[in-house]
Amino acid sequence: MYCYDFQVVLQEVPGEISLCFTISGCPLRCEGCHSPFLWKKGSGAKLTNKEYRDILYRYFGFATCVVFMGGEWHKKELIAKLKYAQKQGYKTCLYTGEETIDPKIEAHLTWLKTGKWDFKKGGLDSKTTNQRFIEVETNKQLNHLFLK
């Protein structure tokens, strides 16, 4: 699994300070994608277990959630990283352009954002979006948290 970018973010999961890993190799190629450079496999640096654990350790007590922007195409690696984050006390989230994901991945998520980017409908901050932000345990849609 290659990580193009790592950031501490405040808006991807409302109410959480999140460690956000942007994974390259996206196979979806959504029309109007704001990050087509993420389509290329192997772009960025290999996200080793040591580096990942070091980041989670460094931000423990400050950040509360780990977010993966993509990566569901690396199911085994993603599940292992989600499990580790949960074991360390972090909440977990996946942003995907898919409508559904493998239940084995979903079992290790607190939140899930689904739906391809459609520039005509907008993102989670749009009332017309096709995307959904879901609390996995309850299957409750929480898009209203993104509306201003």
**Secondary structure tally for the chain: helices H, strands E:** 3, 8
pLDDT at 109: 98
Extract the tokens encoding 48. 């080793």
Mean pLDDT by 10 residues, the chain (148 residues): 95 97 88 75 92 98 96 96 98 96 98 92 94 97 95
Range of the domain at 136: 2-146
Largest CA-CA distance found in the chain, in angstroms, rounded: 41
Q: Given this model, what pLDDT does residue 95 score? A: 96
Task: Tell me what pLDDT residue 77 has.
Answer: 97
Q: How many domains does the chain divide into?
A: 1
Residue 101 token pair: 């994901």
Quote the pLDDT of residue 123. Answer: 92
Residue 61: the pLDDT is: 95
Alpha carbons 54 and 48: distance in angstroms, whole number: 10
Please name the residue that has the structure tokens 């972090």: 90
pLDDT at residue 60 in the model: 96
This prediction has a pTM of 0.94
pLDDT of amino acid 43:
87
Beta strand extents in 18-148 (DSSP E only): 18-23, 45-46, 65-69, 91-95, 111-114, 132-135, 140-141
Q: Are 55 and 18 in contact (CB under 8 A)?
A: no
CA distance 12 to 16: 8
Q: CATH number of the domain that 46 lies in?
A: 3.20.20.70
